[in-house]
Amino acid sequence: MRRQRLTLLPQQRPDLERQVIALTEPQMHYLRHVLRLRDGDKFWLLDGVGSWYETQLQGTLAQVGEPTLAPSQELGIELHLAIAMPKGTAMESVVRHATELGVHHIHPLWSDRTVNRHDLGRQKLQRWQRIASEAAELSLRSHCPPVSAPQDYSQWLANWADTFGQKLIAVTDRGAPHLLNLWASNCDRPMALLTGCEGGWTARETQAAQDYGFRPCSLGDRTLSAVTAPLAGLSLLAALWESQQ
């Protein structure tokens, strides 16, 4: 039987040195009522940054053993998704499935056409991070991708663009080259994919990205939704990377 898993919250990582973790109420509920674990039962504790720990449940505490190098389920390249937030709860699906596909970091953005209010995005941040943690556990990942606090599009470009080697922005322009034709496998720096919300990017936003070195790319002949586009792009990039390793 495969041993159950739980991913630590970032603020709990310092407690690993003491080998005792005080579990939160949601973690206790998950272990005892979802996984049906009892005192003395063992599970894997994932630190979210590359190590697993054989752990025993004792009351409201997790007794932590020595770290084990996590089985490699990562892409080997830091793939960042920057997405103009779609309407409603659609961002939850993006976070969940992008994590399963191997994304390294998720950056929610406010663009010219974003419908979500600025305060609403921040209120949902904790939930998005919890969804990412659950998806990382499900897909046996050693890295749990952080979900950044939402930023304005222009601010994000100024703060992050220089971080990346390959930089792509998905557009609906039929004249843009396909993502497959822009892929370069010899890049050893983090890579970024920008995708828009409903209605896509404005001309101003596309030009701003190009000014920072992003190359417009197509994801195919069909028009994709704000949820499908980032997942299609990530799937292509992950497949390209893994096929050449």
Q: What is the pLDDT of residues 153-191, one digit of tens each?
A: 999 999 999 999 999 999 998 899 999 999 876 677 899
Is 175 domain-assigned? yes
Residues 20 and 130 in one domain: no
Task: Provide the domain limits for residue 175.
Answer: 79-243
4: pLDDT confidence band, cut at 50, 70 and 90? Answer: confident
Residues 96 and 215 in one domain: yes
- Amino acid letter at 188? D
Residues 21 and 87 in one domain: no
Residues 119 and 211 in one domain: yes
Number of domains in the chain: 2
Is 198 domain-assigned? yes
Is 74 domain-assigned? no
Is 165 domain-assigned? yes
71: pLDDT confidence band, cut at 50, 70 and 90? Answer: low
Residues 203 and 95 in one domain: yes
Q: What are phi and psi of 104, to 5 degrees?
A: -90, -30
Q: State which of 40, 69, 98 marks the end of a domain.
A: 69
